[in-house]
């Protein structure tokens, strides 16, 4: 058996840039899995990709499969033969399916009886005979949402395929993939090497393509681009805000990256930087430059796929392209400023929020009402929050936001400042959309928090209130994202707010529009349920979250403190035993049909272990009481950890269900008091489930 590097390359027309990296990694993973599943020994797997190719290079790949011993168990001997010892139809059918006679079958003895057994040694097939099928399967498993056909073929793929290369060392593996025969021809750079090139050995892949003006390795190309961006930024005395998504997209658009920079007219800097950045990034794939204070500079960095002898020509071309886009943004800004935000509010009545819940104007009216009350509850200026809520959606009618939807909120902030609105109002208009995505910044002002919470509550309560709850992947109003955002604001900003009260407040703002009578409980349960994925992302185990959820604390800050306290308690050496004891206590109490006494009768305590437990319980109550008053749940649980030994001793030596009714009921009262002490924080009994 020989070992050599394996190369598989699929040459295509331009692949979707945003999908390229994922397709490349999936192709490499799928092909590696095919090799592993089919007992082809191999070494390191590398995914490579350019706009016009997907490639996988695998080191130390065996030239054939390993030999295998195949065993197939048949019917039991009792079933395989009748009373006279003749093979039954079941045995004959099984033997026939394996190409043998019943007499040729071996016997397998187990503790459950004897069985017929077919055993055969299967010779491993050579790689060249099976690789085309592996490649086809690996490609077929790619996440391709919309495959296409080309030419007269029925073959489908994400883009038309022009070349297929399968090399094992210097051996060209014959075969057909996606209707194209394997050969050693590779696509070169579309402009610098349109004639293409050829390859003789799989190890030479990157070297051969470099000579054809193609950097095959995605990561290397990306690093080259990043280095070029940094160099251009340093030369211009600016900096580029990190944007991994844009960097990946640009890397997927070029095969031979050349990084350049260009300037635009400084007059455009009178426009807020956000729409300028959006048009440069989204429309042109440019990297805007900022100074150290975050102010936009009249310079951008871009990546071209041509190593031109006259780069100034390319620079001038990009300057000509970007100017009208920046001019459009300037025109929108100057035009929008002529109409104050307050005068735009009435036109929101023409924009539908939801058929049963009214227009965006109706929504902003509700937001203003609720935001003012939340701000007052937080000790902030309710007038600022109400005004911000009233104006928060007004920029949706501006030309700038219609052209660049990503600027909603931020343009409202700029227009509010132009109109002379208080800074608190302008800031809250921007902040009410925060957080926009996982890990995004949160509102920094209390009015901003109030409007953001009110906006998210309005969507949650309104949509739940008409019975349109998110189901499966369907969440058209992004309620899950709204819920996580709302919880993040309250917890991370340490706001003393209660979900039950907030939901009731939002419900009241809808008047009689809502039709779901249980909307309050459903929304609160939905919000509490979003804690689970949020904490799981932080590495907190599910049973810890469930222990707190069992108590249903509806103040998010309080919920958060309990979760972290239980997570810390779970690490204590006493935790497992106390969790098991709590579960045992819960099971015992669940079987009690009659009411349990509130107090323990000390006169009925007879066993030394129950006397010691009562004493330890009283001491733990005293030690934990002060901690609980300060919401120091971690300290309280540490105090309760001292109960582990007396609880274990009690269960080891005392029978709860004593024959004497009074003694039994007194011990039940003791257990109820023990469980109640723990339940003040969480249901410890669900830990380790």
The CATH number of the domain holding residue 651 is 1.10.730.10
Same domain? 322 vs 357? no
Left if phi > 0, otherwise alpha if psi is -120 to 50, otherwise beta: which for 159? beta
Query: Collapsing DSSP states into helix, strand and coil, what is residue 171?
Result: strand
* Cα distances (Å, whole numbers) of residue 566 to 519, 559, 679: 30, 11, 12
644 lies in a domain? yes
Residues 10-14 have a mean pLDDT of 97
Q: Which pLDDT does position 689 carry in this prediction? A: 58
Residues 469/526, Cβ–Cβ less than 8 Å: yes
- What are the pLDDT digits (tens) for 622-659? 888 888 888 899 999 888 888 888 888 988 888 888 88
On the question of pLDDT at 353 being above 80, the answer is yes
Out of 122, 143, 159, a domain closes at: 122
Same domain? 283 vs 346? no
Same domain? 315 vs 425? no
**Three-state SS letters, 115-157:** EEEEEEEECCCEHHHHHHHHHHHHHHCCCCCCCECCCCCCCCE
| Banded pLDDT at 572 (limits 50, 70, 90) | confident
pTM to 2 decimals? Answer: 0.83
405 lies in a domain? yes
| Banded pLDDT at 34 (limits 50, 70, 90) | very high
Same domain? 380 vs 243? no
Same domain? 509 vs 593? no
Residues 510-523 have a mean pLDDT of 96
Same domain? 575 vs 655? yes
Task: Give the angle 517-521-527 at the CA atoms, nearest 5°.
Answer: 135
Element of type H or E holding 486: helix 479-492
Same domain? 407 vs 456? yes
Count of other CB atoms within 10 angstroms of residue 310: 8
Out of 160, 188, 211, a domain closes at: 211
550 lies in a domain? no
Q: Which pLDDT does position 581 carry in this prediction? A: 83
Instruction: Using alpha carbons, select from 412, 485, 408 the residue that is nearest to residue 454.
Output: 485
| Banded pLDDT at 598 (limits 50, 70, 90) | confident
Same domain? 405 vs 516? yes
β-bridge mates for residue 239, sequence order: 290
Same domain? 359 vs 474? yes
Q: Which pLDDT does position 685 carry in this prediction? A: 87
- Percentage of the chain beyond pLDDT 70 is 100
Q: Which two tokens mark 332?
A: 């929108």
554 lies in a domain? no
Provide the CATH number for the domain around residue 374: 1.10.3210
Residues 554-564 have a mean pLDDT of 96
- What are the pLDDT digits (tens) for 410-457? 999 999 999 999 999 999 999 999 999 988 999 999 999 999 999 999
On the question of pLDDT at 191 being above 90, the answer is yes
Q: Which pLDDT does position 587 carry in this prediction? A: 83
Q: Which two tokens mark 341?
A: 């935000």
544 lies in a domain? no
Q: Kindly report the average pLDDT of the chain as a whole number.
A: 94
Alpha carbons 465 and 518: distance in angstroms, whole number: 8
* Cα distances (Å, whole numbers) of residue 331 to 275, 277, 407: 12, 16, 15
Q: Which pLDDT does position 657 carry in this prediction? A: 82
Q: Which ranges of 236-359 does DSSP label H, i.e. alpha helix? A: 244-251, 273-278, 311-336, 341-344
Domain that holds residue 157: 3-65+126-211
Alpha carbons 673 and 435: distance in angstroms, whole number: 43
Q: Which of 16-25, 145-154, 232-241, 398-407 has the lowest mean pLDDT?
A: 145-154
* Cα distances (Å, whole numbers) of residue 614 to 440, 585, 587, 621: 50, 15, 20, 10
> Quick one: angle between helices 17-37 and 218-235, nearest 10?
150
Query: Collapsing DSSP states into helix, strand and coil, what is residue 355?
Result: coil
Q: Which pLDDT does position 650 carry in this prediction? A: 84
| Banded pLDDT at 112 (limits 50, 70, 90) | confident
Alpha carbons 33 and 37: distance in angstroms, whole number: 6
Same domain? 369 vs 328? no
Out of 491, 509, 539, a domain closes at: 539
Same domain? 109 vs 235? no
174 lies in a domain? yes
Based on the structure, what is the number of domains in the chain?
A: 5
Same domain? 642 vs 513? no
| Beta strand segments in 526-572, E | none
Query: In sequence order, what are the residues at sequence separation of 6 or more whose Cβ sits closer than 8 angstroms to the Cβ of residue 521?
Result: none
Alpha carbons 449 and 649: distance in angstroms, whole number: 51
Instruction: Using alpha carbons, select from 61, 59, 48 the residue that is nearest to residue 208.
Output: 48
Residues 199-222 have a mean pLDDT of 98
261 lies in a domain? yes
Residue with tokens 């030596």: 653
647 lies in a domain? yes
């Amino acid at each position: 058996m020989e070992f050599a590097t394996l190369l598989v390359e699929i040459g295509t027309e331009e692949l979707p840039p945003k999908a390229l990296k994922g397709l490349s990694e999936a192709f490499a993973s799928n092909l590696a899995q095919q090799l592993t599943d089919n007992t082809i020994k191999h070494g390191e797997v590398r995914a490579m990709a350019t706009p016009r190719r997907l490639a996988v290079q695998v080191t130390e790949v065996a030239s054939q499969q390993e030999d295998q011993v195949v065993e197939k168990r048949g019917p039991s001997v009792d079933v395989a033969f009748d009373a006279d010892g003749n093979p039954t139809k079941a045995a004959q059918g099984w033997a026939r399916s394996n190409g043998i006679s019943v007499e040729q079958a071996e016997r397998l003895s187990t503790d459950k009886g004897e069985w017929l057994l077919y055993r055969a040694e299967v010779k491993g097939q050579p790689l060249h005979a099976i690789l085309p099928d592996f490649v086809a399967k690996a490609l077929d498993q790619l996440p391709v949402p919309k495959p296409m056909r080309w030419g007269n073929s029925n073959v489908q793929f994400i883009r038309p395929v022009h070349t297929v290369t399968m090399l094992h060392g210097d051996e060209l593996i014959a075969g057909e993939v996606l209707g194209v025969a394997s050969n050693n021809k590779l696509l070169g750079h579309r402009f610098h090497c349109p004639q293409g090139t050829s390859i003789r050995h799989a190890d030479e892949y990157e070297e051969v393509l470099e000579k054809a003006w193609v950097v095959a390795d995605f990561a290397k190309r990306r690093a080259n681009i990043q280095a070029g961006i940094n160099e251009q930024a340093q030369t211009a005395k600016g900096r580029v805000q990190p944007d991994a998504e844009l960097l990946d997209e640009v890397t997927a658009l070029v095969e031979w990256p050349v990084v350049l920079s260009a300037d635009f007219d400084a007059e455009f800097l009178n426009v807020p930087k956000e729409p300028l950045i959006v048009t440069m990034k989204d429309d042109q794939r440019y990297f805007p430059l900022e100074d150290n204070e975050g102010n936009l500079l009249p310079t951008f960095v871009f990546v071209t796929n041509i190593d031109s002898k006259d780069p100034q020509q390319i620079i001038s071309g990009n300057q000509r392209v970007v100017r009208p886009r920046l001019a459009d943004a300037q025109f929108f800004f100057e035009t929008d400023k002529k109409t104050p935000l307050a005068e735009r509010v009435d036109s929101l009545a023409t924009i539908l929020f939801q058929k049963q819940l009214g227009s965006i104007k109706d929504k902003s009216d509700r937001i203003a009402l609720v935001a003012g009350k939340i701000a007052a509850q937080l000790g902030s200026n309710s007038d600022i929050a109400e005004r911000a809520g009233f104006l928060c959606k007004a920029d949706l009618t501006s030309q700038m936001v219609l052209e660049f939807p990503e600027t909603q909120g931020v343009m409202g902030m700029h227009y509010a400042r132009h109109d002379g609105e208080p800074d608190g109002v302008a800031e809250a208009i921007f902040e009410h959309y925060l957080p926009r995505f996982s890990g995004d910044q949160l509102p920094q002002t209390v009015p901003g928090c109030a409007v953001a919470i009110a906006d998210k509550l309005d969507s949650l309560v309104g949509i739940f209130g008409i019975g349109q709850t998110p189901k499966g992947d369907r969440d058209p109003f992004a309620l899950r994202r709204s819920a996580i955002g709302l919880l993040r604001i309250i917890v991370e900003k340490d706001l003393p707010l209660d979900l039950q009260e907030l939901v009731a407040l939002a419900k009241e703002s809808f008047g009689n529009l809502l039709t779901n009578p249980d909307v309050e409980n459903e929304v609160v349960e939905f919000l509490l349920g979003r804690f689970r994925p949020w904490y799981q992302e932080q590495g907190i185990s599910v049973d810890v979250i469930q222990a707190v959820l069992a108590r249903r604390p509806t103040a998010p800050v309080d919920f958060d403190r309990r979760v972290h306290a239980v997570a810390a308690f779970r690490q204590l050496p006493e935790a497992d035993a106390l969790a098991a004891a709590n579960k045992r206590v819960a099971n015992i109490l669940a079987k009690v049909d009659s009411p349990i006494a509130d107090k323990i009768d000390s006169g009925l305590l007879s066993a030394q272990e129950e006397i010691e437990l009562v004493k330890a319980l009283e001491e733990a109550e005293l030690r934990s009481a002060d901690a609980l008053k300060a919401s120091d749940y971690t300290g309280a649980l540490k105090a309760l950890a001292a109960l582990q030994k007396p609880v274990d001793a009690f269960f080891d030596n005392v029978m709860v269900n004593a024959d004497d009714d009074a003694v039994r009921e007194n011990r039940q009262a003791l257990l109820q008091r023990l469980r109640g002490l723990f339940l003040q924080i969480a249901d410890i009994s669900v830990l380790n489930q």
